[in-house]
Every structure is written in structure tokens, then in C-alpha cells.
Structure 1
Amino acid sequence: MYIVLVYDIGEKRVGRMLKLCRQYLNWIQNSVFEGEITEVKLKELIMQSKKLMNEEQDSMIIFKSRNEKWLEKEVIGKEKNELDTLL
């Protein structure tokens, strides 16, 4: 599945959350990630995220799509982290 993950997390925890999300997804903008991920890896990412989060103050939103081709993306301005698709 293809996901877009967005989080809003306290300043003290944001560095650890960034590092965690980079292990699973591609960083595209501050607190925003995207990429292909399996159901198992997504559950793993969510479990690890919950350990870092204060659920009374922090939030994480995950947008899911079956495939990247069903998601239209338009970037206005400079893209922070251009994804290379070259092998």
C-alpha cells in the first residue's frame, strides 16, 4: 500500500519521530512522509510511534491508498526532498 504520513509532535520528541519515520518512508517535507509500505511494516511503525508520542498532546495522520498511481500529487514551490526513481 502507499501512504502519506503527517505528524504534529512535541519539540522534545520530534527528532526521534523523524528518525523513526525515515526508517520506513521517504521524507518529503517537515513532518510529512510518503512511500510504499506493507501492512506489517505499517503496524510496526504505528507501534513504535505510539511509544514516542504523548497521545494527549501529539497526533499522527495516515492517508492510505492501494497504489501511488491512485494519488495525484502537485507540488507548488520548491520540493524539499525530491525522490529519485532512478535505479
Structure 2
Amino acid sequence: MYVILVYDMDGKRVGKMLKLCRRYLSWIQNSVFEGELTDIQLKQLKSEAEALMSGKDSLIIFKNRDQKWLDKEVVGEERASIDNFL
């Protein structure tokens, strides 16, 4: 499934969440990631994220069956491209 993940964390835990999300998804902007995950990978990511979170931290996950069903428009400079050139 195609996933867009957004998090809002206390400053003390931001670095740990960033490293965790980069293991599973592609970074596209501050605290925003996207990519393809299996159901098992998503469950693992959520479990590890919940272990890092406390208080008013939040994690929002948008899921879709396939990226082709999502229109993506970038206005301004794209922070990080996830295009792969062969």
C-alpha cells in the first residue's frame, strides 16, 4: 500500500522518529514521509513509533492502495525527490 506519514513530536524525540521513518519511507519534507509498505511493515513502523511517543506527540498515516490513485502537486521547490532514475 502507498503511505503518507506525518508526525509532530516533542523536540527531544524528533531525531529518533526521523531515523525510524527513514528506515521505512522516503523523506519528502520536514516531518513528512511517503512510500510503499506492506501491511507487516506498517504494523512494525506503528509499533516502533508508539514506543517512542508520549504526551502530545502525534502520528498521522494516510493510506491508499496504490500511488497511481493519488494526484500529487508540488508548489515551489520539492525538498527531496523520490524519483529513481535507472
User: Could you say which TM-score interval applies, normalised by the shorter chain?
Assistant: over 0.9
1:73 aligns with 2:72: yes
Letter in 1 for 2:20: L
Residue 12 of structure 2 aligns to a residue whose secondary structure is coil
Q: Which residue of 1 aligns with 2:7?
A: 7
Q: Distance in 2 between matches of 1:5 and 1:31?
A: 8
Aligned-pair distance for 1:83? 1.3
Q: Percent identity?
A: 59
Q: Could you state the TM-score of these two structures normalised by the residue count of structure 1?
A: 0.96
Letter in 2 for 1:68: Q
Aligned-pair distance for 1:84? 2.5
Q: Which residue of 2 aligns with 1:33?
A: 33
Deviations 1:61-83 (A, max 9, x none): 00000000001100000000011
Q: Distance in 1 between matches of 2:57 and 2:83?
A: 31
Aligned-pair distance for 1:35? 0.2
Deviations 1:22-44 (A, max 9, x none): 00000000000000000000000
Q: Distance in 2 between matches of 1:49 and 1:79?
A: 26
Letter in 1 for 2:49: S
Q: Which residue of 2 aligns with 1:63?
A: 62
Letter in 1 for 2:61: I
Residue 6 of structure 1 aligns to a residue whose secondary structure is strand
Unaligned ranges ≥5, structure 1: none
State the Cα RMSD in Å: 0.7
Q: Distance in 2 between matches of 1:69 and 1:85?
A: 16
